[in-house]
Amino acid sequence: MTASLTETARDVADGSTTATRLVEEALERLAATEPDIHAWVTVAADGAREEARRLDAGPRRGPLHGVPVGIKDIIDVAGLPTECGSPLRAGRVAGADAWVVARLREAGAVVLGKTVTTEFAYFQPGPTRNPRDLSRTPGGSSSGSAAAVAAGVVPVAVGTQTAGSVTRPAAFCGVASYVPPVGVLSYAGVNPMCPSLDTAGYFAPTIGDLALVRAALGSWTDVPTARADAPRLLLMRGDELGPVEPEMADALERAVTALGAAGARITDAALRLGPLSDDHVTVMEYESAQTLRTELATSPEQLSDVLREMLERGSTTPGSAWSAALARATAQRDLVTGMLGEADAILLPAAPGPAPEGLDATGQPTMSRPFQLMNLPAVGIPGLRSAEGLPLGIQLVGHPGREAELLATAAWVEREL
């Protein structure tokens, strides 16, 4: 496992290491793990080495100076292919960096390469395996980004989320994750799927690392650290949203007990958000059919069955159903944010259970759909394990106007667990 991002950035700042050394170590780790894990679709070794040399020769650029990062292959990196896990994008080379990539570079990060995505960030898996158990899925759609961090190749990797494409892979691979509200981080330069739901997110080893990246992307003066006082949490056990496996249910109860013993005030959330899951599907299918209508019309044979069928459903979804789904989400969002005015976060599973066996599917995003539709930020917290030692991720969902406070609460939870 790689050192935390925070430790790595500190080592660069105090001269204990260099950007060049970090890039070489990342490339060595990639070469050692990639034959088994298949997390990367493009490795920009020469470009990363050149950028590291420039950073070592100049002044400190920012809080991520010299840190190698991975970028999901639906996000543009100048001079590298953006192929979106589809033959329909084969050979497409980006002419400019996406906004999030440009901001990472401004903070001093070095792009090591592009990570595997499912086809157009939907459900058709790529070749990536879970570093914790090679027989299991890493989740999706940000499969390669989660696996690259879990394998210790890079201390931060960028993904995207439309349903559960960051939160779920983080839970399955045992790393931390952050998904900001839609629109908070510009989506410019990212291949869209569903504008009402698409957002950039990212993975790192610890919650403190997530806070450092968010501060860098947002030009925050202060990096959020673990709060001193115990938080007020609303508990959802997840079965309101879909089946929860016994191992996850048991792990959540252990977490609740531990956090309560540490002083957290935990109450059951009087929320019934299950209908929003169906509304999320309606919005995603309707907007995706608009976004990918050319591909469906001209090259349906080059789409996977699962994606083509989704687009076909979306193309017959009435606009009235789409607008009604968004209206219900707005009403529920007002209710939930009102409750989060009195509590610090909602605590619930990040996935139904551990990563499923097999590589033919990426698991279900049931624990994320309603919150993504309501545009609420979510932090994935690693550390819990099944009896077999597989990661079991939990998440905190917070108020959209209090991202720093949410990250501070998540750091408290991580520390107490």
Mean pLDDT of 95-117: 98
β 68-72/110-115 pair status? parallel
Confidence of residue 2 (pLDDT cuts 50, 70, 90): low
3-state secondary structure of 382: strand
- Angle ∠(244,249,251) on CA atoms, nearest 5: 135
Clarify whether residues 19 and 165 are in a common domain.
yes
Is the preceding omega at residue 141 within 30 degrees of 0, hence cis?
yes
Residues with Cβ within 8 Å of residue 8, at least 6 apart in sequence: 2, 17, 22, 67, 155
Q: Between these two residues, 402 and 2, which has the higher pLDDT value? A: 402
Clarify whether residues 41 and 152 are in a common domain.
yes
Last residue of a domain, one of 178, 200, 218: 218
Q: Residue 373: inside a domain, yes or no?
A: no
Mean of the per-residue pLDDT values of the chain: 97
In angstroms, the CA 81 to CA 42 distance is 8
Q: Residue 379: inside a domain, yes or no?
A: no
Q: Residue 88: inside a domain, yes or no?
A: yes
Clarify whether residues 156 and 290 are in a common domain.
no
Clarify whether residues 146 and 32 are in a common domain.
yes
Confidence of residue 3 (pLDDT cuts 50, 70, 90): confident
Residue 358 burial by CB count (10 A; 0-12/13-18/19+): exposed, middle or buried?
A: exposed
Clarify whether residues 201 and 106 are in a common domain.
yes
Clarify whether residues 138 and 208 are in a common domain.
yes
Q: Residue 247: inside a domain, yes or no?
A: no
Range of the domain at 138: 5-218
Mean pLDDT of 257-280: 97
Last residue of a domain, one of 175, 200, 218: 218
Instruction: Note the pLDDT of residue 399.
Output: 98
Q: Residue 254: inside a domain, yes or no?
A: no
pLDDT at 302 over 70: yes
Q: Which two tokens stand for residue 331?
A: 């009403």
Q: Residue 232: inside a domain, yes or no?
A: no
The answer to whether the CB of 355 falls within 8 A of the CB of 390 is yes
Spatial CA neighbour of 136 closest among 363, 386, 367: 363
Clarify whether residues 135 and 31 are in a common domain.
yes
Q: Residue 30: inside a domain, yes or no?
A: yes
Mean pLDDT of 253-268: 98
Clarify whether residues 53 and 202 are in a common domain.
yes
In angstroms, the CA 104 to CA 107 distance is 5
Residue 306 burial by CB count (10 A; 0-12/13-18/19+): exposed, middle or buried?
A: middle
% of residues, the chain, pLDDT over 90: 99
Clarify whether residues 212 and 279 are in a common domain.
no
What's the pLDDT tens digit per position in 381-396? 999 999 999 999 999 9
* CATH code for position 192: 3.90.1300.10
Mean pLDDT of 17-36: 98
Instruction: Note the pLDDT of residue 1.
Output: 46
Supply the residues annotated as catalytic: 72, 141, 165
The answer to whether the CB of 383 falls within 8 A of the CB of 206 is no
What's the pLDDT tens digit per position in 178-203? 999 999 999 999 999 999 999 999 99
What's the pLDDT tens digit per position in 129-179? 999 999 999 999 999 999 999 999 999 999 999 999 999 999 999 999 999
Clarify whether residues 173 and 316 are in a common domain.
no
Strand locations in 326-377 (E): 345-349
Clarify whether residues 297 and 172 are in a common domain.
no
Clarify whether residues 174 and 316 are in a common domain.
no
DSSP state for residue 130 in the 8-state scheme: B
Last residue of a domain, one of 297, 321, 345: 321
Give the sign of the dihedral formed by CA 274, CA 275, CA 281, CA 284: negative
Q: Residue 413: inside a domain, yes or no?
A: no
The answer to whether the CB of 37 falls within 8 A of the CB of 151 is yes
The number of distinct structural domains making up the chain is: 2
